[in-house]
Structure 1
Amino acid sequence: MGTLLPTSSDASIKRSDDPDLLCIDDEHTADVFKTLSSETSQEIFTALNEEPMAAQDIADELDLSLQQVSYHLDNLQETGLITVLDTCYSEKGMEMDVYGPPETPLLLYLGPSDDKPGMLESFKQFAHALGPIAVPVAIGQVFARLTSDSE
């Protein structure tokens, strides 16, 4: 017998061509660094950039407790690094949020925020020259390098 409530999600990762720029002197950037200073947060963030998942799925995949995952999901969500993409239900009928990266990608610029307008314009020109598929690929490679460098 089937269930009336969806027990799986069809959420997918969508990325805008218009990124937000994090500058070194920005308070939000400091919060992002603080959140990603935790190896567990990095692992969860990396997993969610590969595939949207519910907290229990993350806990199972990374061999973590649900409490650990919930704590780091709250921190990642508070800094805007992840967002709720969908909702599904457990086999017991409990509502579960499905997390993934926000549509607007973040770029890290290790310079002052005074340069932000010029840097965003330069990136847009660069992205248009390479084509729309190059932006998520480049962002994914940066995250992969950050994660592997921290190990």
Structure 2
Amino acid sequence: MSSLFPTDPDASVDRSEEAELLCIDDGRTAEILASLSSERSRAVFRHVNEEPRTATDLARELDTSVQGVTYHLDNLRDAGLIDILDTCYSEKGREMDVYGPSEQPYLVFLGTSSDEPGLRAAFKRFAHAVGPVGILFAIGGALSKVLAGDDG
């Protein structure tokens, strides 16, 4: 017998084309870095960026409790890094939120806000040299190493 409620999420991720620049002396940056301070929160963030997921799916994939995952999801939502994209239902009929990355991408700059004009100028020169696809590969590769905890 098929369920009356959707058990598979129908979530899609729509990202803004404009990344918000965050400088190290910005309070918003501190909030975001604090929300990603543990390996578990970074793992939750990585997984929902790969594909939207429920807390139950994340708990199973990360071999941890739903309550533990929910704690990290709440912190990441409070920081604006993830959103609830959809709702689906478990086989038992329980409503489950589906989490995915927020619409707003961020670019963290490890310099102060007084360095921002120089950074923007350098970024424009970089953009003209490698083009938009090169920027996406450079940022995506660097970000994935940071999120994975790769020091190399």
- TM (normalized to structure 2)? 0.84
Return the offset for 1:12: 2.3
Letter in 1 for 2:95: E
Query: Which digits, 9 at most, give the CA deviation of each residue in 1:21-79, with x for residues without a partner?
Result: 11111111111111111110011111111111000000001101011001111111100
My pick for the range that moved more, 105-114 or 40-49, is: 105-114
DSSP-derived class of the 1:85 partner: strand
Letter in 2 for 1:22: L
Q: Write the distance in 1 (CA, Å) between the matches of 2:97 and 2:74.
A: 12
* Structure 1 position 12 matched with structure 2 position 5: no
Alpha-carbon contact 1:84-1:99 (below 8 Å) kept: yes
Return the offset for 1:13: 2.5
From the CA coordinates, give the structure whose radius of gyration is larger. 2
DSSP-derived class of the 2:85 partner: strand
Letter in 2 for 1:63: D
Which residue does 1:64 correspond to in 2? 64
Return the offset for 1:142: 2.7
Q: Describe how 1:32-111 pairs up with structure 2 within 5 A.
A: 32-111=32-111
- TM (normalized to structure 1)? 0.85
Change (3 A) 1:146 1:32: same
Return the offset for 1:93: 1.3
Which residue does 2:131 correspond to in 1? 130
Q: Write the distance in 2 (CA, Å) between the matches of 1:86 and 1:57.
A: 14
Gapped runs of 5+ residues in structure 1? none
Q: Write the distance in 2 (CA, Å) between the matches of 1:135 and 1:10.
A: 30
DSSP-derived class of the 1:104 partner: coil
Gapped runs of 5+ residues in structure 2? none
Q: Write the distance in 1 (CA, Å) between the matches of 2:85 and 2:117.
A: 29
CA-based RMSD: 2.5
Change (3 A) 1:14 1:69: same
Q: Write the distance in 2 (CA, Å) between the matches of 1:99 and 1:124.
A: 33
